[in-house]
Amino acid sequence: MSEFAEGKSRHRSPANGSSAPLSAEDLARRERADALYYDARAIRQVDYVRLKELSEASLELACEVGSDGEQYRHGMAAALSMLAYYNATLGFSEVAMSQASQAIALLDSDEPSLILTDLYDTIGWIRFSQGNFVDAIEVLVQAMRMAEEVGDLTAKAKSLDTMGMVHEVSGHPSDALEEHLRAIELYREADDEVNLALARNNLAYAYVSLGDYDSALETAKAALDYVSTREHRHIEVAVLDTVAAVYLAMGDPDTALTYSRRGLELARECGTEQDAADNLMTIGRIAVEMGRYDEALAAVGEALAIASEAGRAVEVYTAHELLSRIYEARGDIAAALGEYRLFHDLEQARINEEAQTRLAHLRVENQLEGARKDAEIHRLRSLALEREVEDGRIAQARLEAQASLDPLTGLYNRRHLSVLAEELRAAVARQESACLAIFDIDHFKEVNDTHGHLAGDRVLMSLARQLRSNSRSTDVALRYGGDEFLVLIVGMDGPSGAETAERLRATVEESVVESDGARIHVTISAGVTCVSLDGTTDLSTLIDRADHGLYAAKQSGRNRVVSM
């Protein structure tokens, strides 16, 4: 029996306070969920597609209600921790943070565990990518200390390695060097060659910052030799970009460009846009050194678009700084000044004197005894209750729906329908109108068939982001299934609800989703209905009626909204 399933054969029933035994079938299902989680964790650095598949399968099993009337909360948290890692690695910080918050709420304990260690490390990475360096270090120190308590050398080394990256980017390469070297020692002790290669790759940047180019090149090429011979393609993309950066620092732009183009090609084959953005930025720097400014503008502009969509603050302001240099070299002083102002504003928003001072002296060996409990983790815990309202039934339903997130989009899933039903009844009781809209992506199967399922996932995530940005805080959106989404709009009558749906339809029509160099345009169809039409308070009735509107929209040519 796995460490998760052991001792979990009995759970306290929230209904009557008694314990109910789990059936053999339930135990087997939970052990299968644990096994899938461990499989996902073992390959998380080398196979992102498989990582996502295994994690989603584990989550699905863990979400099933057992004979004790409960879901397998620990297994749900474990699976969500891997999905958060997946989305953070691919640059989808918002979804990753949402999944991490759900996992922490499910654990409902600060007791050291492997899952919580992974979650802290992932949150630290997200904060690093967003440019919140102080928060990143504090969360990573928590992860490292927890890894020590659970006795996991690899987890401790991983936190140290990420801390080294934070210190290098924030201008403290000596601290970064020490932390990367300590991580490498731990990876060797743990006989973890994959992470050892990653740590060597990160160490190369510290050497570059310190001006030790020979050590940087030796370290980066050692990492490249390992990952290329084992066909770890995702890691190889990152290491190719590192080797290119080292050659550029050494004054060899021609060789650097060769490696960077290989990295960009492989990133597009793997479908990892963030890795593609990193290589594009390096290509931009190389092109500047070679005086090829049009090529530099194109590469950096594409990298900026990817970083902006993913909310990666460091890459965004770095791109604006490089664009300023490019325009200045071309003699376009006005454009150069505009880009520099953007760079300066973004950088100052991220860095201030206090943060720089704290980072300069924040050393891992001090262990931060007596440090404040991490405020970010408290904030994440509160997310599970953020939509609680005064109505007791709704509050209870939300508490019971802690894990009702769709792992891909970060929206609620079908398990949240009971909450929507309570929202609807409460709105009617308050004599408020409410609309229900169902959206469906037109010809979505063709997107998957033509561009692949990873591109399809990007289209779904893009639509989810547009749903969030076009919704009010009181609206409730969920992924109803496949490429179908449902939104409950409280406080709007039929015409207003239709107008909201039409606004989203127009936004989607004008948007572009980029995947592996392809620019994908999609449209959506929608059906809208309103409770004020006949006073219906039954959610399933409204869904059926909105679905008839969606069908009518499809039949009449798609890319339109039909009210019923």
Longest dimension (CA), the chain: 77
Q: What would the mean pLDDT of 474-503 be, rounded to a whole number?
A: 86
CA contacts within 13 A on the Cβ side of 301? 8
**Quick one: which of 382, 509, 369 has its CA closest to 439?**
509
H or E segment to which residue 106 belongs? helix 93-107
Compute the mean pLDDT over every residue in the chain, rounded to the nearest whole number: 80
Residue 161 has pLDDT above 90, yes or no: yes
Q: What would the mean pLDDT of 543-554 be, rounded to a whole number?
A: 91
Q: What would the mean pLDDT of 305-320 be, rounded to a whole number?
A: 76
| d(C-alpha 307, C-alpha 317), whole Å | 10
Would you state the structure tokens that stand for residue 415, as one six-digit string? 């398990």
Q: What would the mean pLDDT of 190-203 be, rounded to a whole number?
A: 92
Residue 11 has pLDDT above 70, yes or no: no
Is the model more confident about 450 or about 343? 450
Range name among 11-20, 200-209, 228-237, 430-439 with the lowest pLDDT average? 11-20
Would you state the structure tokens that stand for residue 528, as one six-digit string? 């809208």
Range name among 185-194, 231-240, 313-322 with the lowest pLDDT average? 313-322
Residue 429 has pLDDT above 80, yes or no: no
Tell me: the pLDDT tens digits for 129-144?
877 777 788 889 889 8
Residue 327 has pLDDT above 90, yes or no: no
Residue 34 has pLDDT above 80, yes or no: yes
Residue 549 has a pLDDT of 92
| d(C-alpha 368, C-alpha 524), whole Å | 52
CB 179, CB 160: distance < 8 Å: yes
Would you state the structure tokens that stand for residue 445, as one six-digit string? 């199967």
Residue 182 has a pLDDT of 93
Is the model more confident about 214 or about 314? 214
Q: How confident is the model at residue 363 (pLDDT cuts 50, 70, 90)?
A: very low
Residue 536 has a pLDDT of 62
Q: What are phi and psi of 231, to 5 degrees?
A: 55, 40
Residue 484 has a pLDDT of 92
Residue 79 has a pLDDT of 94
Q: What would the mean pLDDT of 465-473 be, rounded to a whole number?
A: 76
| d(C-alpha 163, C-alpha 121), whole Å | 10
Residue 84 has pLDDT above 60, yes or no: yes
Tell me: the pLDDT tens digits for 201-252?
999 999 999 999 999 999 999 999 998 888 788 888 889 999 999 999 999 9
What's CA 197's distance to the chain center, in Å?
24
Residue 534 has a pLDDT of 55
Show the domains of the chain with their CATH numbers: 231-363 (1.25.40.10), 388-563 (3.30.70.270)
- Beta strand pairing call for 484-490 and 513-515: unpaired
Q: Tell me the whole-structure pTM to 2 decimals.
A: 0.60
Q: How confident is the model at residue 311 (pLDDT cuts 50, 70, 90)?
A: low
Would you state the structure tokens that stand for residue 54, as one six-digit string? 């295994």
Residue 257 has a pLDDT of 92
Determine the length of the chain: 564
Percent of the chain residues past pLDDT 90, beyond the cut: 31
Residue 224 has a pLDDT of 92
Residue 522 has a pLDDT of 93
Tell me: the pLDDT tens digits for 400-414?
444 466 767 777 888
Q: What would the mean pLDDT of 301-323 be, rounded to a whole number?
A: 79
- Beta strand pairing call for 561-563 and 524-530: parallel
Q: What are phi and psi of 558, to 5 degrees?
A: 70, 175
Residue 347 has a pLDDT of 59
Residue 346 has a pLDDT of 64
Q: What would the mean pLDDT of 481-502 be, rounded to a whole number?
A: 86
Residue 358 has a pLDDT of 41
Percent of the chain residues past pLDDT 70, beyond the cut: 83
Residue 562 has a pLDDT of 92
Range name among 6-20, 157-171, 263-277, 503-517 with the lowest pLDDT average? 6-20
Q: How confident is the model at residue 344 (pLDDT cuts 50, 70, 90)?
A: low
Q: What are phi and psi of 516, to 5 degrees?
A: 50, 40
Please report the beta strands in 160-212, taking only residues with DSSP state E, as ranges in sequence order.
Answer: none
Tell me: the pLDDT tens digits for 372-426?
334 333 334 444 334 333 344 444 444 444 446 676 777 788 877 877 787 787 7
Q: What would the mean pLDDT of 304-314 be, rounded to a whole number?
A: 75
**Quick one: which of 427, 516, 420, 500 has its CA closest to 466?**
500
Residue 7 has pLDDT above 70, yes or no: no
